[in-house]
Amino acid sequence: MRSSRRQFLGQAAAVTGAFLALRTSVIARGWHRRRHPDFGYGDLRSDPNGLLDLPSGFEYRVFSKVGQTMDDGFRVPGAHDGMGAFPGPRGTTILVRNHELLASASELGAFGSDNALVERLPSGSLYDDGRGKHPGLGGTTTLVYDTHQRKLIRHFLSLAGTERNCAGGPTPWGSWITCEETVITPDDKHSRIHGFNFEVPATSQPRLARPVPLEAMGRFNHEAIAVDPKLGCVYQTEDQHESLLYRFLPEVRGKLQAGGRLQALALIDRPSCDTRNWSETTVAVGQEHRVHWIDLDDVLSPQEDLRYRGFAAGAARFARGEGLWQGQDGLYVSCTSGGPARRGQIWRYRADADGRGGSLELFVEPNDPGVLDHPDNLTAAPNGHLIVCEDGEKDQFLVGVTPEGKLYPFARNAMNSTEFAGAAFSPDGSTLFVNLQGLGLTLAITGPWKDS
């Protein structure tokens, strides 16, 4: 058996008493990593193929690999990252998948190692042509998957010419917002400015989205988005050590290209609060803080200083905001390097009915890499648990989080230390899709999702 940083897996719990508003963070040491508490899905079983350890009753299938030729003749790009799942025709699932690639990574791009296939693109479909020599290699691919027959129907390129598309999020109107995690400016390899979100329709037929940057949503190191279905606003995270939590208020609901206002979250009683808890505990686990949203100006940020100006104006500071998921009981936000150990935090934001403010709570902060190590993308399972992708050191896990804040391992990358990314459930709840980024693989995991 391969040695693991989790020879002993602690049980991190944030236990809420029936009449208590304050949750206490609990770390109960002594659980071997192959033993489990009375929640979750049970012991992880060693995969005979050495790829993915899962609980009994669960199995996986690899159905997409970097370098494969897609239905449109392009190659499956590498660096799979964020991903969204949408209902497709005849019960299929449409997946829109990000690729966190820069123009310099031509050996992993959709156009082949010499970019010869770029000539197949229709005119106007490439956001940045790299001055004719170094086209942007990020963007998205779309996959159509049959969850009943458990097979890939087709896959194709759906956004081209962007850079380092990291995460994003689905919209209620049937599109994927893909986010650039870079603020590259024009140079000898780039003809366009970067640092924007782009909208990609979720379609089952091969189609390239128009590469229109959603400038009003701000220019920064974007990570993920989540749409509040009641309020129509779009929350955004920023992958920086001194990031803000943003929301975008569109002028026209569901029409992000029509413009709108960009705001940042601030604690009412603690302006410019540093929530990272690095040098001192400024925010305790379970503590709720009333918040409001402050307007931001100059959102194209030519000096790449939006987060600094927002903090100076009273916005709260976070430690590398990454995954976002709008659940029924609030918005969940993962901060990859939050906490005194800098191993990660998960926050929960609950908006007021009128949308003017709400409350922010530090939901999970175990400060133990044996429990949670740098949480990144996250999603919700059919039973209401969160499934969190790790991007930490050594062994990488998918970590489950119960509604009470208790953590347990769900899956382990048994092959190497590459991160999990893009966790998303099929609309029928039968299948968890996830990427192993460094391996360039997309997997479908099935099993008794509601039996826990």
Residue 55 near residue 399 (C-beta atoms within 8 A): no
Across the 452 residues of the chain, what is the mean pLDDT of every consecutive 10-residue run? 32 26 28 54 96 97 98 98 98 98 90 94 96 95 98 98 98 98 95 98 97 98 97 97 98 97 98 97 96 98 98 98 95 98 98 96 96 97 96 94 96 97 97 97 95 66
The three-class DSSP label of residue 292 is strand
Q: Is the dihedral of CA 390, 396, 401, 406 positive or negative?
A: negative
Residue 91 near residue 148 (C-beta atoms within 8 A): yes
Alpha carbon distance 164, 357 (integer Å): 32
Which DSSP symbol is given to 429? S
pLDDT of residue 39: 81
292 contacts: CB under 8 Å, gap ≥ 6: 265, 266, 268, 356, 357
Neighbours of 299 (CB within 10 A): 17
Strands 330-335 and 321-327: antiparallel
**Tokens found for residue 176:** 């994927």
What is the Cα Rg of the chain in Å? 21
pLDDT of residue 103: 86
Q: Give the position of tokens 């989205």.
A: 209
**Tokens found for residue 244:** 């803000």
Q: What pTM was computed for the model?
A: 0.92
Alpha carbon distance 161, 167 (integer Å): 16
In 328-446, beta strands by DSSP E: 330-335, 345-351, 357-364, 375-380, 386-390, 397-401, 407-413, 420-425, 431-436, 441-446
